[in-house]
Amino acid sequence: MELQTRSVISPIGTLCLYASGPALVALALPGGDEELRAWLARRFGDFRTRSESDPAGAASALRAYFAGELAALDRIEVDPGGTSFQRSVWMELRRIPPGTAISYACLASRVRRPKAMRAVGAANGSNPIPLVLPCHRVVAADGTLCGYGGGLEAKQWLLVHEKALASGAWRLELPSSQLPLL
């Protein structure tokens, strides 16, 4: 198996991209490349890498995203692997629009597993394609930042970049079961 790869310098550090054919299969945040390569070996077995200028179009889409074109990541075809439950969580992440943060409870409701917040959190934490499958848009129920493989500073930078910070408070979308009663 041969994967196309490229490193991209970004405001949150160097990102390492891995693609198979037309689909991005992994993205390593700064400091996470060794762990991600081990995950790729479990998924694909023995693999080699070949440097390519724009694997799966992800390098150019990431540059556009960091330049302010927030919808650019939606153009990237992805193949994250994983279990059917993990894929349901990861693909639901793509439905969270830039500028919005949701709670783990909201994400669990969206995948029709409202009582599985911990399982949803674990799937979110094992996301092999962060940024493109925007797990940084998931925050604690009270709106505080928690758990991000790239570090909380990077998560905060991404949310500010996407303008999820409005009037000093996160725009947090909650499931109807968590809305305050009026």
Q: Cite the active site residues.
A: 135
Dist CA 141 CA 150 (whole Å): 20
Q: What is the pLDDT along the chain (182 residues), one digit of tens a residue?
A: 999 999 999 999 999 999 999 999 999 999 899 999 999 999 999 999 999 999 999 999 999 999 999 999 999 999 999 999 999 999 999 999 998 889 999 999 999 999 988 999 999 999 999 999 999 999 888 878 887 888 888 898 999 999 875 534 445 454 444 433 33
* Sheet with strand 172-173: strands edge to edge: 138-139, 101-103, 172-173
Torsion of CA 171, 92, 47, 151, to 10 degrees: 20
Give the per-residue pLDDT at 90: 97
DSSP 141-172: TTS-----TT-HHHHHHHHHHTT-EETTEE-E
Residue 165: what pLDDT? 58
